[in-house]
C-alpha cells in the first residue's frame, strides 16, 4: 500500500514538474514577439488564462496573431459563423487575461 502511495506521489510530482516546464503556443509566441512588455511572467500568465478559456486550435490561432496582427483583423471582419464564434471566445479570453495579468 505504501509503495502505491509513493508511486502515485512521484507520478504526480513528475506531472507537475513537466507541466510547468513546457510553454504553450501563446506563451511561446508572446516571448518571441517584439513587444516591449513581453516577459516570461506576463506571457505565462496569458497562457494560463488561455488554458482555461480557449481550446488548442483557438490557442494556435491566437498565437499566430503575434506574428501577423493583420490576421486578427481579417478574422474579426470575417462573415463566417465559425470566425464569429471564435471572436466571441477571444474577447472573453482578452478580458480575463487583462484582469488576471495586469500588474
pTM to 2 decimal places: 0.77
Give the pLDDT confidence score for residue 13 in this predicted structure.
40
Sequence-distant (≥ 6) Cβ neighbours of residue 51 within 8 angstroms: 24, 59
Give the pLDDT confidence score for residue 2 in this predicted structure.
53
Give the Cα separation of 97 and 26 in Å (integer).
12
pLDDT, tens digit, 9 for 90 and up, residues 4-51: 444 444 444 444 444 455 899 999 999 999 889 999 999 999 999 999
Amino acid at each position: 500500500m505504501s509503495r502505491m502511495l509513493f508511486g502515485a506521489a512521484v507520478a504526480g510530482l513528475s506531472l507537475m514538474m513537466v507541466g510547468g516546464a513546457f510553454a504553450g503556443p501563446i506563451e511561446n509566441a508572446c516571448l518571441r514577439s517584439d513587444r516591449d512588455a513581453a516577459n516570461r511572467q506576463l506571457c505565462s500568465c496569458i497562457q494560463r488564462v488561455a488554458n482555461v478559456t480557449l481550446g488548442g486550435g483557438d490557442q494556435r490561432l491566437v498565437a499566430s496573431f503575434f506574428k501577423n496582427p493583420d490576421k486578427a483583423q481579417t478574422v474579426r471582419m470575417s462573415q463566417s459563423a465559425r470566425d464569429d464564434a471564435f471572436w466571441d471566445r477571444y474577447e472573453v479570453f482578452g478580458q480575463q487575461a487583462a484582469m488576471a495579468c495586469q500588474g
